[in-house]
Amino acid sequence: MKISFSQVTPSQIDQLADLANQIWHEFFTIILSEDQINYMVDKFQSAHAIKEQTEHKGYIYYFILEEDIPVGFTAIRLENEKLFLSKLYLQKSARGKGYASLAFEFIEKIAKENDKNFIYLTVNKYNEHTIKVYEKKGFIKVDAKVSDIGNGFVMDDFIMEKVLNPSKLTEVQKMIHGYYYMPSDKFLNKKRMQAKELLYDFNLLMPSEVGDQILKQLLGNCGKKPHIEPHFKCDYGKNIIIGDYFYANSNCTILDEAKVIIGNEVLFGPNVGLYTVNHPIDAASREKGYEIAKPIVIGNNVWLGANVVVLPGVTIGERSVIAAGSIVTKDIPADCLAAGNPCQIIREIDQEHPIPLP
């Protein structure tokens, strides 16, 4: 099949809007309600919305053509040193043919031609298949955000980013994006010292004092009513993103060289450790001082028991429970009870039939 890309012209916007409506209803019914799909298509992918984006917001749309017939589309926006990949959608009949890979190559070419070293995108946190595809393409989770889009709906997304030329990265960028870096870098030393000073103040608070203001200075993002018992330790703080009503018992340690994204209503028992950082296995490289880090993601309503350790690159799905003393080395799906070293799934948790309470 001949695959090509063609920039959408003003006269083709109606055709693009029809294609978008079709694809959204083919694909997103798994993770979104019909009402939300209809609302989001009208708000973001109607002919009026696309015209507004292209004329006033810097978006560029391209058809993905199979034998000159549109089977999908992509949208980008060029920003400072980054290219924002806003959309990449294919009809159901066009999936599994390698077209997405060709689209990524096309987008990377545009980024390089425009001297952009990063491509970033947003993806629904529950779109697990697409997240895995992006990860295989070299994207890494660097942030999370919840956006109120009106009409009672929100977009609950990860922000993922890919580096095109690692040689252009600063040490902090290498650290965040999963490349070997030198922690002795002056900027990183300064940031660790700033975190230590805030932690010193936080851990010496009187029991009657509230540390929310310190946590807001320390952490990258802090949801409603966090409660972290002393003694709390982290390396940078700014790489930690915490949702609403987070609770961590005493002696929580988070080594946040890469991003640590924690959802809503999450509970940590005493002595829980989240470690994003690792060292080279061979002694010669290790002696040079290099480190490497991978992000950790903890979903909503997860409970980590006492002395649980979560290692670099792990994602724990929503509502799962990790038993005390477990060492989590690989991803744990949602709604599971898991335990052991290495941590393994014991059984699924029946969320539809909670235990009777008084």
Report the catalytic residues. Answer: 279
- Indicate the DSSP class of residue 352: T
Q: Say if residues 124 and 144 touch (Cβ distance below 8 Å).
A: no
From CA 243, how far away is CA 211, in angstroms rounded?
A: 16
Contacts of 121 (CB under 8 A, 6+ apart): 84, 85, 86, 88, 134, 139, 159, 160, 161
Q: Where are the alpha helices (DSSP H) in 84-224?
A: 99-113, 128-136, 171-176, 186-203, 212-218
Give the single-character DSSP code of 242.
E
Q: Which one-letter amino acid corresponds to residue 170?
A: T
Distance CA 322, CA 324 (A): 7
Of 311, 306, 193, the residue nearest 255 (C-alpha):
311
Name the strand (E) or helix (H) holding 20: helix 13-27
| Six token digits for residue 156 | 């609950």
CB 292 within 8 A of CB 180: yes
Q: What SS3 class is residue 139?
A: coil
* Alpha helix positions (H), 206-274: 212-218
- How far apart (Å, rounded) are the C-alpha atoms in residues 31 and 351? 18
Rounded-to-10 torsion of CA 122, 253, 258, 190: 120
Cα–Cα distance list, 160 to 101, 105, 137, 276 (Å): 17, 17, 11, 17
